[in-house]
Amino acid sequence: MNNKRILSHGLNLGPESRPTSTASIMNHVLLALFPGLFAQFYYFGTGYLYNLAIALFAGLLCCLTIALAMTSTSEKALSYASPTPKHRFPGSIARKNISPILLDNSNWVTCVLVAIALPPNMPILIVTVAIVSALGLGKYIYGGLGQNIFNPAMVGYGVVLISFPSDLALWPPVIEGLSGATPLEQLKYNSGQTVQELTAGPAFGTLAGQGWEWINAAYLAGGLYLIYQRIIGWHIPVYLLASIILWSAAWYDMGSSLSLGSPVFHLFSGGIMLGAFFIATDPVTCPSSTRGKIYFGLLCGSLIFIIRSWGGYPDGIAFAVLLANLCVPLIDHIHNIND
């Protein structure tokens, strides 16, 4: 199976095998995102369509710009190589650079991930900054597909999260007329209420926050489809979710007013399932060995819980993934591909 080979050697994609096989992997990923996307549309409305449209358009412009920049450098290199200008075909070089970038579906996956990680109805400026940072700073500065250190979507999200923190805290209420704090924030700033009192409130459903539980369940379904199709390995999501269960069980405190929330609540809040199945499993930015993947999953899950519970940000997926990404070269150095 071709896909499996590529994923087990995330970094060492041969240049010839890249476009077609990566494209088919990313088609599966886009397909698996659909249940979650649908759930988000259902609860937050058309604001997400708007986000997606801007993100894809900005992504298109960004890809074209990058392709043109690459063309102009390769033209220069060509003109140095052959002094006679009649051998140069600028148009064909441009086409040669543009089509792999536009056909590289992982760019579109990045755009979709940024669009759904942001709250709905974001200003055009913020979405554009996120997309340009994701594709430019996160991916193409490092040489494009397979070379980047950090997850591109999370670089884009991280840049706008630290640049426009107040805009990114604007999650609309799931139910009309309810205050804007997400269930995670309510738990974090609970004023002496026990977990049971809190979850009896209107913002909470049966498992976690009203709406959020179904969004997470939908992403979980998509993620299970990816594992079933062998697009992603099961190690990272399973160990990530397991470490969150362990941490939250250790600090659950039987639901007193100091409790940090039950394991089930943590599993179905915020962007956990999206992060565990779609973001942390990026084959380029996760370790290549199985043992490395286990450490990566545990590290990611622990960081998510630490930032979420004691940090300054309501949810920690983006920072946790970026922090785990920067440990990946060291993890790979310790457990290389062969074990």
Partner 1 sequence: MAELFMLFVATMLVNNFVLVQFLGLCPFMGVSNRLDTSLSMALATTFVLTFSATLSHIIYHTLLLPMHLEYLQIITFIVVIASLVQAAEFLMRALSPLMYQVLGIYLPLITTNCAVLGVALLSVREFSSLLETIVFAIAASLGFSLVLILFSAIRERLSASNIPEAFAGTPIHLITAGLMSMAFMGFAGLS
Contact residues: partner 1, CB under 8 A = 70, 73, 137, 140-144, 147, 149-150, 155, 158-159, 162, 303, 306-307, 310-313, 316, 318-320, 322-323, 325-327, 329-330, 332-333
**CB nearer partner 1, residue 70 or residue 132:** 70
**CB nearer partner 1, residue 120 or residue 146:** 146
**CB nearer partner 1, residue 120 or residue 287:** 287
Please name which of 180, 47, 63 lies closest in space to residue 124, comparing C-alpha atoms. Answer: 47
Phi-psi region of 254 (alpha: psi -120 to 50; beta: other; left: phi over 0): left
Nearest approach, Cβ of 11 to partner 1 (angstroms)? 8
Nearest approach, Cβ of 138 to partner 1 (angstroms)? 8
**What is the C-alpha to C-alpha distance for residues 32 and 138, in angstroms, rounded to an integer?**
23
Nearest approach, Cβ of 15 to partner 1 (angstroms)? 9
Nearest approach, Cβ of 311 to partner 1 (angstroms)? 5
**CB nearer partner 1, residue 156 or residue 297:** 156
Q: Which tokens hold the place of 102?
A: 């536009």
Tokens 């979710």 sit at which residue?
A: 241
Contact of 252 with 260, CB cutoff 8 Å? yes
Dihedrals phi, psi of 84, to nearest 5 degrees? -85, 115
**What is the C-alpha to C-alpha distance for residues 226 and 283, in angstroms, rounded to an integer?**
13
**CB nearer partner 1, residue 46 or residue 163:** 163
**CB nearer partner 1, residue 67 or residue 220:** 67
Nearest approach, Cβ of 151 to partner 1 (angstroms)? 11
Nearest approach, Cβ of 299 to partner 1 (angstroms)? 12
Could you tell me which residues come within 8 angstroms of residue 72 by beta carbon, excluding any fewer than 6 positions away? none
Nearest approach, Cβ of 103 to partner 1 (angstroms)? 19
Residue 97 C-alpha from the chain's centroid: 26
Strand segments (E) across the chain: none
**CB nearer partner 1, residue 230 or residue 333:** 333
**What is the C-alpha to C-alpha distance for residues 201 and 184, in angstroms, rounded to an integer?**
13
Contact of 130 with 140, CB cutoff 8 Å? no
Count CA atoms within 13 Å of residue 62 on its CB side.
Answer: 26
Nearest approach, Cβ of 127 to partner 1 (angstroms)? 18
**CB nearer partner 1, residue 187 or residue 307:** 307
Could you tell me which residues come within 8 angstroms of residue 159 by beta carbon, excluding any fewer than 6 positions away? 129, 130, 133, 137
What is residue 52's three-state secondary structure?
helix
Q: Which tokens hold the place of 302?
A: 């622990």
